[in-house]
């Protein structure tokens, strides 16, 4: 995939589990665009069951493919500004929030600092992150796994294939 004229490409994940979940996702998209970031494509919105030990409501999640003139930690400035716009308070770690905005992938960038990890460490074990990334950027290669988003999204589905799929040569 070519770089957009508007800068480098990134996959962002939105999540909300406090009322009103759809409205917070709308607020987030408007704030992202208001910061000069171009939204190129979006996934459906998925309800997901929270992971971890904190008891809390289900999340509404969505991934966005965006383009912007930012690199590395500059994307975190966007994260903080957009979360603030959605009234996010720093409460219980991993607890309920009006908006969680995470950077899942940045094209051709890999970061492992205290404040920024890209690809996002949750990518490999949260199905909606893999499925969403496979929809938005199917050919991007995970730098540590050496596999494309499509391959990673299908990896957990061993034994599941479409009948007549020539790639697996199955019949019946």
Nearer to Mg ion, 62 or 154 (CB): 62
Q: What is the per-residue DSSP string for 106-158?
A: ETTB-EESSS-EES-GGGGT-HHHHHHHHHH-TTPBPTTT--BHHHHHHHTTT
Nearer to Mg ion, 93 or 172 (CB): 93
Which residue bears the tokens 């074990």? 125
103 binds, among Mg ion, ligand ADP, none (CB under 5 to 8 A by kind): ligand ADP
Assess contact for 85 and 14: CB atoms under 8 A: no
Question: What 3-state DSSP class applies to 44?
Answer: coil
Q: Does 10 bind ligand ADP (CB under 6 A)?
A: no
Nearer to Mg ion, 6 or 35 (CB): 35
Q: Does 107 bind ligand ADP (CB under 6 A)?
A: no
What number of other Cβ atoms are within 10 A of residue 98's Cβ?
Answer: 21
94 binds, among Mg ion, ligand ADP, none (CB under 5 to 8 A by kind): ligand ADP
Contacting residues toward ligand ADP, per CB under 6 A: 76, 79, 94, 100, 102-103, 115-118, 120
């Amino acid at each position: 995939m070519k770089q957009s004229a508007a800068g480098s490409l990134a996959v962002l994940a939105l999540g909300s589990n406090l009322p009103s979940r759809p409205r917070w996702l709308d607020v987030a998209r408007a704030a992202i665009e208001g910061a000069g970031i171009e939204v190129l494509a979006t996934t459906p919105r998925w309800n997901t069951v929270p992971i971890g030990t904190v008891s809390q409501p289900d999340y509404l999640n969505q991934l966005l493919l965006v383009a912007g003139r930012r690199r590395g930690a500059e994307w975190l400035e966007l994260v903080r500004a957009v979360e603030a716009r959605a009234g996010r308070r720093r409460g219980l770690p991993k607890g309920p929030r009006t908006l969680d905005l995470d950077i899942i992938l940045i094209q051709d960038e890999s970061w492992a600092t205290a404040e920024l990890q890209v690809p996002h460490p949750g990518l490999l074990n949260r199905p909606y992150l893999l499925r969403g990334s496979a929809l938005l950027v199917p050919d991007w290669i995970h730098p540590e796994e050496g596999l494309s988003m499509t391959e990673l999204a299908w990896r957990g589905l061993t034994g599941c294939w479409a009948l007549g799929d020539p790639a697996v040569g199955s019949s019946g």
